[in-house]
Amino acid sequence: MLKINDLHASIEGNEILKGINLEIKPGEVHAIMGPNGSGKSTLSSVVAGREEYEVSKGTIDFEGEDLLDLDPEERAHKGIFLSFQYPIEIPGVSVTNFLKTAINETRKAKGEEAMPANIMLKKMREKMALLEMDKGFLSRSLNEGFSGGEKKRNEIFQMAMLEPKLAILDETDSGLDIDALRIVANGVNKLKSKDNAVLLITHYQRLLDYIVPDYVHVLYNGRIVKSGGKDLALQLEEKGYDWIKEEMAI
Amino acid sequence: MSSEEKLLEEVTGSEYKYGFYTDIESDKVPAGLSEDVIRIISAKKKEPQWMLDWRLDAFHKFNQMTEPDWANVTYQKPDLQAISFYSAPVQKKKLGSLDEVDPELLKTFEKLGISVDEQKRLTNVAIDVVVDSVSVATTFKKTLAEKGIIFCPISEAIQEHPELVKKYLGTVVPKTDNYYAALNSAVFTDGSFCYIPKGVKCPMELSTYFRINEGGTGQFERTLLIADEESYVSYLEGCTAPSRDENQLHAAVVELIAMDGAEIKYSTVQNWYPGDANGKGGVFNFVTKRGICEKNAKISWTQVETGSAVTWKYPSCILKGENSIGEFYSVAVTNNHQQADTGTKMIHLGKNTKSTIISKGICAGKSNGSYRGLVKIGPRAENARNFSQCDSLLMGSSCGSHTFPYIETQNKSAKVEHEATTSKIGEDQIFYCNQRGIGTEEAIALIVNGYCKDVLNQLPMEFAVEAQKLLAISLEGSVG
């Protein structure tokens, strides 16, 4: 589904990603862990198409298509979703209106008719129940005055509505208390299928207790320096990152 | 130039959709302003002597006034001797029905997206259309007449309802109020007149559509709206003009009278030609709008201003009667080289008077937008209340936004609140929308409409949709 090959990317002249290789197949859950400043969020931004980052080398292939040629919205239309670490506030635009626009723009890009309002509403109710969200949520201004936990829950709600093929969850666990974490993780698990994939970006093992990854990768200084199964995350939790640095002699 | 600026320039560089010119024969007086010209205008309109005398008095007063320069705008002062003060599409005879309107004119209306055909209209709106100096069509006159409502061109009202015009004309905006109001009083050619009788709720929206067609002309319309005791009316106006290299002058006066317990809702969607991307041409929009509220009356001004090269406009309320209410909701967009100095005056004279001001400025390109507002509480205005909120949204880094609030209170029991914010459409917001599949143009429209929501919500439903589209067009370059 996603194939990243020797990806180099920089911002304002500083190279952050220095040769990333990663392959994600349908049905898989991957986790990327790593210390602060290792390039985790840069990787998610580059895949989503944020323009400040300059890709100097390498390719990103998504279902046989070169993603780097596409605008961010075109990547979204192809089924790439990024749950933001810091979701953005848009005053005066309700959650409903935002989602309606997002869904219908995506459908338009695919040459489909707009989703009938009653079907959309039904779907919204269903997904809100899944994430144990309050009805009043829909008419609030997008992310404005939301608590940290509400913002993250809203990201996963949007993911549930947009049904992406590849969901990148950038530190979705930060700012969540343990109950909210359980609800959000439960939502993600229910949305998982053999046809879609999830890329989790996180500092901590605790999210991985709920969403169990097939693969764990350690990102350090712009490269994936170690990959393994879910046990790797436990090792990291226990020993920190230093042993990897030693092992890799970096 | 950063990528964000480039992007913004790209999406904000739009063209004007209504810039066509209709080739219709017009009857135009030679350029220039003099007593003779005023006599010609008055004679063409077959006006009674009192009206001519009123105009001449205004003209003499105007001659002693000078053009004000306190507004935060710069422009070349219009040469009044180069303007033709009267231009009318030629029509063979007085129109009995819409079928007799010049087909070229009807085509113009179609292009503008306004249907004057009563049979085909779905929405409940009566329209008066003013092209250049005269009114060419008024719809639904009969339906309104059944309720005793008068809705007609002001030139017709001068002939048929002289007692009303004589009694109220110039009572809210006196001839000497300001330079352009005095000019308008001397040379105004047409505009709408409306009278709602006691206790009548007007069953439909009343609307006037203004269009400047001819070159070398100005438009000086005059609107007089009288809502008698306990009546209600919602009134809309819209305006466009062809794209021309020269600057055209539009100096209008609007007077509203809300008697005891009456309510007037006055909405404007102003889309005069703003000039090209380099600031050449465009309409000078110098307008005086004011309403007076008697006891328990309410006047609500809502404006969406997207056009004109230079705008100078302060729809105001004189809250004379006790418990009267004044409201001002405004969205003012400037792009390219447009300049706008706009706001309101809320003059509290009566006890327990209340006013609300919500102003949303949006500046893009190299434009300049200013909010200028006065809240004045008179010595007898016990317990007067005002709340003002003035926000500005900047797009790019070459535009300017300014706020000039004036507050004068002469009564200790008054409560006046003023809030102001300035924000920028961030790259973050646009990227967030993009990531959800929303393209940049659509994203800007969404963000801007969200920002203006409190004002757009005040517009009648079908107008709000129009206004949203207009905002998108003026900011996005998505010209059809």
Q: pLDDT band for position B92 (50/70/90)?
A: very low
In this prediction, residue B28 carries a pLDDT of: 72
Helix (H) or strand (E) holding B89: strand B87-89
Q: Do A90 and B432 touch (CB under 8 A)?
A: yes
Rg (CA), chain A: 18
- Residue B322's CB is within 10 A of a number of other CB atoms, namely 18
pLDDT beyond 90 at A144: yes
B382 DSSP assignment = T
State pLDDT tens for residues A32-56: 999 888 999 999 999 999 989 999 9
Contact B338, B280 (CB under 8 A): no
Tokens of A149: 């936990």
Integer angstrom CA distances of residue B227 from A113, B152, B234, B447: 47, 15, 10, 37
Q: pLDDT band for position B191 (50/70/90)?
A: confident
pTM of the predicted model as reported, rounded to 2 decimal places:
0.82
pLDDT beyond 90 at B220: no
In this prediction, residue B78 carries a pLDDT of: 83
A7: distance to nearest CA of chain B, Å? 21
Average pLDDT over residues B311-320: 95
Of A72, A82, A92, the CB nearest to B453: A92
Chain A residues lying within 8 Å of B472, measured CB to CB? none
d(CA B10, CA B6): 6
Q: Do B437 and A162 touch (CB under 8 A)?
A: yes
In this prediction, residue B93 carries a pLDDT of: 46
d(CA B63, CA B289): 22
Chain B interface disruption, residue of A11, A12, A100, A105, most B CBs within 10 A: A105
In this prediction, residue A236 carries a pLDDT of: 86
DSSP string, chain A: -EEEEEEEEEETTEEEEEEEEEEE-TT-EEEEE--TTSSHHHHHHHHHT-TTSEEEEEEEEETTEEGGGS-HHHHHHHTEEEE-SSPPPEEEEEHHHHHHHHHHHHHHHTTPPPPPHHHHHHHHHHHHHHTT--GGGGGSEETTT--HHHHHHHHHHHHHHH--SEEEEESTTTT--HHHHHHHHHHHHHH--SS-EEEEE-S-SHHHHHS--SEEEEEETTEEEEEE-HHHHHHHHHH-SHHHHHHHT-
In this prediction, residue B101 carries a pLDDT of: 57
B97 DSSP assignment = S
Average pLDDT over residues B395-421: 91
pLDDT beyond 80 at B198: yes
State pLDDT tens for residues A169-198: 999 988 888 888 999 999 999 999 999 999
Integer angstrom CA distances of residue B126 from B44, B123, B152, B208, B335: 27, 9, 10, 8, 32
Average pLDDT over residues B223-245: 84
Tokens of B274: 């703003």
- In chain A, what are the domain boundaries? 2-249
Of A32-46, A203-217, B9-23, B198-212, the range with the lowest mean pLDDT is B9-23
State pLDDT tens for residues B140-189: 777 788 899 998 889 889 999 999 999 999 999 999 999 999 999 999 98
Q: pLDDT band for position B364 (50/70/90)?
A: confident
Tokens of A173: 């666990």
Chain A interface disruption, residue of B7, B435, B453, most A CBs within 10 A: B435
In this prediction, residue B119 carries a pLDDT of: 42
In this prediction, residue B123 carries a pLDDT of: 43
In this prediction, residue B16 carries a pLDDT of: 62
Q: Which residues of B259-280 are buried (b: 16+ CB within 10 A; e: fewer)?
A: bebbbbbbbbbbbbbbbbbebe
Average pLDDT over residues B49-61: 95
Under CATH, domain A2-249 is a member of which superfamily?
P-loop containing nucleotide triphosphate hydrolases (3.40.50.300)
pLDDT beyond 60 at B348: yes
